[in-house]
Structure 1
Amino acid sequence: MEEYDIDLEEALGVAIEAARKAGNIMWEFYQYRREAVAADAARAFRDENNNDNNNNNNNNNNNNNNNNNNNNATASRSGKVTTMLDVSEKSSSTDLVTQYDKMCDETITKILKRFSASVERAKHEAGFSSFAFNFITEEICPDAPLTDAPTWIVDPIDGTMSFVHGCCDCCVSIGLTIKKETVVAVVYCPFLSPVRNALSGSLSSVHVGEMYTAIRGKGAFLNGHPICPRPDATPENAMVVFNYPTNARLSDKEKEISADQHNVIKKEKHDKIVEASSHIRRKLVRHPVEGIRGYGACVLILAQIAAGRVDLYMEPAGMIWDVCAGSLLVTEAGGVVKNIWGQPFGLEGSTTIVAAANETLATFGAQLCTEVNYGDFWLR
């Protein structure tokens, strides 16, 4: 038995269980929010109806009392949605965290730790006394270093901004690394591919979602079915995802400058980022590519490349939990990943990524970014 020999099939099963439980938490909140929105719409309709039909003061008084009760009930429900989210900012106004990020992180970590503890016991009994799993998770332990040890890397909700606004482009991401390479990947999108009632066509309370999985050397799968990028994708017929850039990140050198200058530096840097981003977008339009889209969740976009729905994606500001699982999905499906300078992709240091259906598209995307040194704006 080698120290880092782990049953990856078993690890995958545990990661799927953890992702699905976190996805269920997200789904239940969306169900509650849908009910709150429906209550809002029903109240607005009743109010409009009542205003049209009220013809005398007595009716007005009675209806006003009823409307006040309805308003209070709806306000209470809408207020509860806001309270349940408990949104706060992290590094900036566009970098959000909710109570559900933390809840999902805790749920996932608990399940992964239970599996990890059983593997650790077996390894210790086999003579590997120092064997232990590490964890890097966005909300609980984001600053843990990446080492050769088996490491779970978790983004409990990738696309928190979308989650806050009730959009469907958010997902759970779980990756397992050994010797700093991803060996297991699970990406779960609970709001895609819902089960429909066969008779009415309405959304069912039971959901399947899209579960993307991969083990290094064994291919990539969507809900158990093999997936691959589009084999004939070219720059001319490519679907490209290129998002609006995130806020500027100060490098360690810039942080050494007087703190009262930080906002000025960030503003100047952000203006340059916007110009560089605009240059890339103009090039894409003039080339032209077939389509340009923008989605919120890095992991979800990488999964879409693996599934052949997107052909090229450039991300200059990804964190390790944004790219760990998704990068393996792309390569196991047959796609290509590089860093934003066109060099080999890795999880150490800068975790920029250019992901594409093939080498030609990956080179095309990296060249667009290097023309304006796009990745340099987020270097530490």
Structure 2
Amino acid sequence: MSDAIDEYFDAALELVKSAGNLITEFTTGCKEYKLKSSDIDLVTEIDKKVEDTLISGLSTRFPSHKFIGEESVADGAKCVLTDDPTWIIDPIDGTLNFIHGYPSSCISLGLTINKEAVAGIIYNPIVNQLFTAKQGQGAFLNGQPIHVSQVKDMRNAIISFEAGTSRDKDKQHAVLENFKLIVIKGQGVRTVGSAALNMAMVALGGADAYFEFGIHAWDIAAGDIIVREAGGVCIDPAGGAFDILSRRVLCASSMELAQEMSTVLHQYYPERD
């Protein structure tokens, strides 16, 4: 299986790097966009072009593989995860950043087999950050090994956190309560506007934990394997097993930190993917 994963990964990496050229044409921002679920949930033609590039290239190379793409789902495709090799794609994670020219957006591409992430690529072409991981082979930034910080408690932790794109009042209440909690209990708060890059920062050791409610499988599939291969953990924010379709994630540098956070976070349960 590892030889097959290597073959899948190499083909995907070539396509991701090529698709990154579509993003770098807009380093000062992309002003043409459409609204999706709210006035802060946006999509551009570049999102669609990147996703089309990845799906077209991978389906040509591996015709039996399945796909879950953010823009495909937005256009009506079903979000179905089977045991088959499945590519889970966010063509531009951090679209709001991309539109404004804030240089924290990325292509996120995860591969699951038997419903488990076995390879991941997170690529921010604007600042040339390429995070990669394959099952059992470690995690890397631009080809150099990376590892989580191993911080074990909130008082010593930098915690990454996002408000998300939902205007749901229950969700907003949980966001505000958790922000207050982190300010009081954590060492620091960071927000970069991309779930995938937040997870990459945990893998790198730059942040110690990240959690969010309301994200989707395509936001976190690549980050899941990259964090785990860097020595970290991914769990449900309430402390149970990580479920890629739950739209809930908590990743951390250690199980001790993850479990401490799970006991104090205000929970929110969005509709599943």
TM-score between both structures, scaled by the size of structure 1 = 0.67
- Give the % identical residues: 35
Distance in 1 between residues matched to 2:175 and 2:69, nearest whole Å: 29
175, 185, 196: which one aligns with 1:299: 196
2:72 aligned counterpart, secondary structure: coil
Secondary structure of the residue that 1:26 maps to in structure 2? helix
Q: Which runs of 4+ in 1 moved over 6 A?
A: none
Quick one: distance in 1 between partners of 2:164 and 2:8? 35
- 1:138 is aligned to 70
2:12 equivalent among 2, 15, 18: 15
Residue 154 of structure 1: aligned partner:
89
- The answer to whether the Cα contact below 8 Å between 1:339 and 1:351 also exists between their aligned partners in 2 is no
Q: Counterparts of 1:153-232 in structure 2 under 5 Å?
A: 153-192=88-127, 209-232=128-151
Mapped to 1, the partners of 2:99 and 2:158 lie a distance apart of 27
Q: With the length of structure 2 as denominator, give the TM-score of the two structures.
A: 0.92
Which structure shows the bigger proportion of residues in helix conformation? Answer: 1
Report if the CA contact (8 A) 1:157-1:170 is conserved. Answer: yes
Q: Which residue in 1 is equivalent to 2:214? A: 317
- 1:108 is paired with a residue whose SS is helix
The aligned residue for residue 284 of structure 1 is: 182
Per-residue deviation at 1:9? 1.1
Structure 1 or 2: larger strand share? 2
Residues 154 and 173, structure 1, Cα contact 8 Å, conserved in 2: yes
Please give the alpha-carbon distance, in whole angstroms, between the structure 2 residues aligned to 1:174 and 1:232.
27
Aligned counterpart, 2:158: 239
- Contact 1:185/1:329 (CA < 8 Å) preserved in 2? yes
Matches within 5 A, 1:49-198: 82=31, 86-117=32-63, 132-141=64-73, 142-192=77-127
Cα separation, 2, equivalents of 1:171 and 1:317 = 19
Instruction: Output the CA distance in 1 between the equivalents of 2:13 and 2:120.
Output: 9
Matched residue, 2:249:
353
Secondary structure at 2:61's aligned position in 1?
helix
1:138-168, CA deviations, whole angstroms, 9 ceiling, x for partnerless residues? 1124523111111111111001111011111
Q: Which amino acid aligns with 1:292?
A: V
CA–CA separation in structure 1 for the residues paired with 2:95 and 2:151: 33
SS in structure 1 of the partner of residue 243 of structure 2 = coil
After superposition, the Cα gap between the structure-2 partners of 1:5 and 1:148, relative to the gap in structure 1 and judged at 3 Å, is: farther
* Letter aligned with residue 186 of structure 1: I
Contact 1:174 1:325 in 2 (8 A): yes
1:313-355 per-residue CA deviation (whole Å, 9 max, x = no partner) reads: 111111010111101100111001101211010224x131001
Where does structure 1 lack aligned partners over 5 or more consecutive residues?
A: 35-80, 118-131, 193-208, 249-265
SS class of match (1:174)? strand
- 2:263 aligned with 1:379, yes or no? no
Distance in 1, matches of 2:79 and 2:189, equals 35
Q: CA deviation at 1:7?
A: 1.3
CA contact (8 A) 2:191 2:198 kept: no
TM-superposed CA distance for 1:15, in Å, is: 1.3
Task: Give the aligned residue type for 2:20.
Answer: G
Quick one: which amino acid aligns to residue 70 of structure 2?
E
Q: Contact conserved, 1:340 with 1:375, CA < 8 A, in 2? A: no
Separation in 2 of the partners of 1:105 and 1:93? Answer: 22
Whichever residue aligns with residue 194 of structure 2, its letter is A
Tell me how far 1:6 sits from its aligned partner.
6.0
1:81-132 Cα distance to aligned partner (Å, 9 max, x none): 63xxx30011111111001001111111122122213xxxxxxxxxxxxxx2
CA distance in 2, matches of 1:379, 1:137: 18
Counterpart contact for 2:153–2:260, Cα < 8 Å: no
Alpha-carbon distance, 1:5 to partner: 7.6
Aligned residue identity for 2:68 = I
Q: Which runs of 5+ in 2 are unaligned?
A: none
